[in-house]
């Protein structure tokens, strides 16, 4: 599957690159917690994504690039998460988010097909996992907006709904929102409903798989994505789901350095509200953006989750030689 990924990008003129796993820069996300090391007087971070380094290369004139990188996220353990995992990240210079929908679909099909063919060659696809392995229709993956998904599943307008209305929906669904000393934000409630109710319905089921893109997220949930040119209520972010499993996160990339700083400040404000340590951000990325980041769209995809699909398992530990508990 790794060979298939490299062949896919090489055939499309993307250059494979490497950026540091350990850096003083860190892209700020209120919901992602990086591992931190103190080296001398400096704070260093294991990267949650190679984004900052790759965008510095883009600003330096690299052209379209991709990377297969080890990334690290604290407090992420379970059947779908591991502290350390493999990410495929790529940026297409001159592409927009709709271009990347098509490329993401083609890559997903190519990588999973390669995995299934490898299993077939080993005689491993006649066992019980075969019934869970992908059998996708020959039509394009579905594209659903964030608002449509909530309307379809819960019958609410996420853009107009108030905090009280969303709280009532949670109660009506028989769910208990986690208690906190901090004020509840609308995004907290939306993220809770997305994870508990909406996500499991995306991308079909094991009996009827139907890969599905979710797009047009609220701007407050798209840290480094550009806003829609025609609809300021949404940002150009998308994710791909299969059987409720999120495979990737894609953006039409923000290129405005001043807006990046504003969003970093907002993300750190959210972290402070959550009693989390603030992060320094990525000043070298900001400087690179000031020098000129080209118009581009990028995607980060969990490689291990692609392997899960090919193998027909819902447990990431089945595709890692050394999951966290054995590392």
How much of the chain, in percent, has pLDDT values that exceed 70?
96
Q: Residue for token digits 């392997």? A: 307
Identify any residues that bridge with 241 across adjacent strands, giving them in sequence order.
Answer: 212, 246
**If you average pLDDT over residues 135-155, what whole number do you get?**
91
pLDDT at 195 (0 to 100)? 94
Weakest-pLDDT range from 36-40, 61-65, 168-172, 176-180: 176-180
Confidence of residue 134 (pLDDT cuts 50, 70, 90): low
pLDDT at 229 (0 to 100)? 87
**If you average pLDDT over residues 193-214, what whole number do you get?**
90
Could you tell me which of 250, 236, 157, 247 has the C-alpha nearest to residue 203?
A: 247
pLDDT at 223 (0 to 100)? 77
Rounded CA gap, 265 and 231, in Å? 24
> What's this model's pTM, rounded to 2 decimal places?
0.93
- What's the distance, CA 205 to chain centroid? 20
pLDDT at 132 (0 to 100)? 55
Query: Which two structure tokens, joined as six digits, stand for 298?
Result: 């990028």
**DSSP structure class, residue 48:** S
Q: Does position 226 have pLDDT exceeding 70, yes or no?
A: yes
- Looking at every residue in the chain, the average pLDDT score rounds to 91
Rounded CA gap, 55 and 176, in Å? 40
Number of alpha carbons in the 13 Å side-chain half-sphere of residue 47: 22
Residue ranges and CATH numbers for the domains of the chain are 2-326 (3.30.930.10)
Task: Describe the strand order of the beta sheet including 212-217 as a list of residue ranges.
Answer: 15-16, 65-72, 84-93, 296-302, 245-252, 235-242, 212-217, 142-145
């Amino acid at each position: 599957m790794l060979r298939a990924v490299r062949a896919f990008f090489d055939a499309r003129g993307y250059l494979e690159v490497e950026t540091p796993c350990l850096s003083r820069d860190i892209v700020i996300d209120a919901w992602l917690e990086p591992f931190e090391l103190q080296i001398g007087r400096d704070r260093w971070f294991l990267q949650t994504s190679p984004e900052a380094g790759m965008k510095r290369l883009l600003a330096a004139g690299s052209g379209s690039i991709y990377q297969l990188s080890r990334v690290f996220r604290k407090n992420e353990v379970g059947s779908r998460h591991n502290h350390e995992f493999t990410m495929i990240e790529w940026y297409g210079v001159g592409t927009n988010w709709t271009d990347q929908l098509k490329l993401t679909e083609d890559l997903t099909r190519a990588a999973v097909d390669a995995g299934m063919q490898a299993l077939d060659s080993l005689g491993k696809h006649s066992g019980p996992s075969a019934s869970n392995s992908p059998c996708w229709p020959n039509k394009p993956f579905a594209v659903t907006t964030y608002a449509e998904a909530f309307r379809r599943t819960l019958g609410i307008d996420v853009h107009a709904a108030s905090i009280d209305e969303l709280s009532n929906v949670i109660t009506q669904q028989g769910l208990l929102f986690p208690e906190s000393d901090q004020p509840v934000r609308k995004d907290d409630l939306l993220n809770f409903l997305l994870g508990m109710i909406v996500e499991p319905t995306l991308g079909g089921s094991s009996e009827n798989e139907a890969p599905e893109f979710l797009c047009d997220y609220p701007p407050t949930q798209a840290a480094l994505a550009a806003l829609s040119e025609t609809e300021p209520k949404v940002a150009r972010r998308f994710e791909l789901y299969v059987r409720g499993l999120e495979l990737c996160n894609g953006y039409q990339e923000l290129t405005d350095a001043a807006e990046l700083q504003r969003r970093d400040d907002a993300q750190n404000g959210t972290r402070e509200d959550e009693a989390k340590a603030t992060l320094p951000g990525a000043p070298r990325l900001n400087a690179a953006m000031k020098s000129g980041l080209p118009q581009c769209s990028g995607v980060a995809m969990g490689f291990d989750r692609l392997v899960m699909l090919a193998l027909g398992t819902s447990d990431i530990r089945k595709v890692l030689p050394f999951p966290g508990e054995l590392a």
